Amino acid sequence: MSHKPTIEYGIIGLGRFGYSLATTLAEAKREVLVLDSSESKIKQIRHLTDNAFVVGELSKETLEEAGIQNCETVIICIGEKIDVSILTTLNVISMGVPKVIAKAISVEQGKILEKIGAEVIYPEHDMALRLANRLLTSGVMDYITLNDDIAITEVKINSKFVGQSIQQTGIRHKFKLNIIAVQHEKNTITDITGDIVLKENDIIVVVGNNESIRKFEKFLTGNH
């Protein structure tokens, strides 16, 4: 595998986030090196970059062979496999890559990644907040899938919850949903605390798995 001395971006892991990132950068005519263990995922992106390689393991030797050390910025998109995420980040940093960004799915994971020298991003959380603001400002009720099982949706509050605080509603405990925004008239609250009282016509934005969202909506409409 031979490469130019410097490649702008290296992306390790072609999950939904990594694939979207690689596609966006490649379509913007940026030079991108992509690594993943799945041959089918690498095939999907080969039309956008010649530097797309299947790697069975993410050892330092494998990363060097692929040319990761030639990248100016490397983004590690393996948040779900925490041990692999941390070890790969360590390897990439030790290879002298100037800028290393790592995806985290929890604050604890993020703290470890920061300690070993990576910049940390929380794409699911950040995307959820951005979508919440977009949904609420557009005034359109919507439902957007974040990954295969997790979704974010707007729900209009009815009489079952009017006058109750968020803690009293028990939405998190009963339905395993997190409220990430509340719209009251023209005000949007994203700093959610349990003592916020829900009022008539309030709209809440919740994030959770699809089944939990369906159960919650059935409860609100009385079909449960």
Which residue type occupies 198? L
Q: Which domain holds residue 150?
A: 125-221
What pLDDT digit, counting tens, does each position of 169-187 carry? 989 888 988 888 888 887 8
CATH number at residue 79: 3.40.50.720
What pLDDT digit, counting tens, does each position of 140-172 carry? 445 566 666 777 888 888 888 899 999 999 898
Instruction: Report pLDDT for 142.
Output: 54
Three-state DSSP at 148 gives coil
Q: Are residues 99 and 188 in the same domain?
A: no
What pLDDT digit, counting tens, does each position of 90-148 carry? 999 999 999 999 999 888 899 999 999 999 988 877 776 666 666 555 544 455 666 66
What pLDDT digit, counting tens, does each position of 45-95 carry? 999 998 999 998 889 999 999 999 999 999 999 977 888 899 999 999 999
Comparing CA positions, the residue from 60, 58, 49, 43 lying closest to residue 12 is 58
Three-state DSSP at 184 gives strand
| Domains identified in the chain, total number | 2
Q: Are residues 183 and 110 in the same domain?
A: no
Q: pTM score, two decimals?
A: 0.59
CB contact burial 99-130 (16+ within 10 A = b; e otherwise): ebbbbbbeeebbebbeeeebebbbbbbeebbe
